[in-house]
Copies of this chain bind each other. A is one copy, B any other.
Amino acid sequence: MRGILLPPTTPFEAQGEVDLPALCANIRRWNETGVSGYVILGSTGERVHLDERETLEVVRAARASVPRPLAFVVGVGGHGTRASIAQARRAAEEGADALLVITPHFYRAAMTPAALAAHYESVADASIVPLLLYNIPQNTGVALPADVVARLSEHENIIGIKDSSGDMVNFLELLRLQSDEFAVLTGNASLLHAALSAGASGAILAVACVAPRLAARIARAVEQERHGEARELQSKLAPLARTVTTRFGIGGLKYALDLCGYGGGAVRAPLSMPDETGRREIAQTLEACRPYEETENETKVEAEGAVT
């Protein structure tokens, strides 16, 4: 679990049906960008908008499009332990290399440290493939405490955590748990450079779906200790993250994907696509990152970047 992993969106046709061919085409194109793998059906993948049959079809189609050297992680997890185990088993049967398991959260007040620890241990015990913990309190209202993560990091079937909280102080605490057996990944693109500089092994970033090469170059620059360049590249990624995903959400990302020649498609209600003004802002912000994504210019930009 190193480098940049993409959490693909799930494209829908205008009538609202899942557009599997678009998903597969997107993945085949991303395969060439230098990313390390995928997290299918994470928050960005609108998993909560899919029924069981659709979930299965998306996982199968994606699995068939991801070549073996790349990581193939599947997002699972519900509010109950029993259902989470069932989902974990199904995803493993369909070829998941690992699972990203969201914190249960509907009965928020009951999600004590002990309850969260027991939940993850039960899922990890029952799963035939390893787990990544998934902390995203801005959506769930439940923050996975650092000491629970510490305890879970010792389970041999729990191999890491994706922290999307945006709380850097907490992230630095998690980093102290990082080891060859336990990866700490950020889910916050604004903090990509900061997280990697502090030693994080990688990132799972929605915005990287439209800027995979830029994100991968930041990771490479930090790895090779070219901090000035990394900082410069981060200053290109940050406005994109702010505009495309933070402000306009999944609808914004799908519109941006369309602009970049990927299959963005529609969102499912109650999500919505950006309005006219939003679309214009997204287009402008994308413009500044375009050079980093054009393959023919790769060498040229790489050279320029080195100069910075």
Chain A: residues with CB nearer than 8 A to chain B? Answer: 16, 43, 46, 48-49, 51-52, 78-83, 86, 104, 106-111, 115-116, 118-119, 122, 138-141, 166-169, 172, 176, 188, 190-191, 193-194, 197-199, 225, 227, 231, 235, 238, 249-251, 268-272
Contacts and interface: CB of A to CB of B under 8 A. Distances in A.
Q: Is the interface of A mostly helix, strand, loop or mixed?
A: helix
Given A81-B268, A270-B81, A270-B110, A172 B139 contact: no
Given A43-B106, A110-B270, 15 more contacts: A48-B79, A48-B106, A80-B268, A82-B268, A107-B249, A108-B138, A110-B250, A110-B272, A168-B168, A168-B169, A169-B188, A172-B191, A194-B194, A197-B197, A227-B227
B115 A82 contact: no
A27 to B, nearest CB: 23
25 contacts: A16-B82, A43-B106, A46-B80, A48-B80, A49-B82, A81-B270, A108-B139, A109-B138, A109-B249, A110-B272, A115-B271, A115-B272, A116-B270, A118-B270, A119-B270, A139-B141, A140-B141, A166-B168, A169-B190, A176-B235, A193-B198, A194-B197, A197-B198, A198-B231, A225-B227
Contacts of A51: 83, 86
A45 B270 CA distance: 25
Nearest to A171: B168
B80 A49 contact: yes
A118 B269 contact: yes
A188 B194 CA distance: 15
A47 to B, nearest CB: 9
A166 B166 contact: no
Contacts of A271: 107, 110, 115
B82 A269 contact: yes
Nearest to A246: B109
A239 to B, nearest CB: 9
A169 B166 contact: yes
A199 B230 CA distance: 12
A187 to B, nearest CB: 12
Nearest to A48: B79
A246 to B, nearest CB: 8
Which 6 pairs from chain A and chain B are nearest by CB?
Answer: A168-B168, A81-B269, A49-B80, A48-B79, A119-B270, A115-B270
A291 B52 CA distance: 48
A2 B188 CA distance: 28
B197 A169 contact: no
A79 B250 CA distance: 14
A227 B197 contact: yes
A256 B29 CA distance: 57
Contacts of A191: 168-169, 172
A118 B238 CA distance: 29
A198 B238 CA distance: 13
Q: Among A80, A82, A191, A268, which residue has the most Cβ atoms of chain B within 10 A?
A: A80
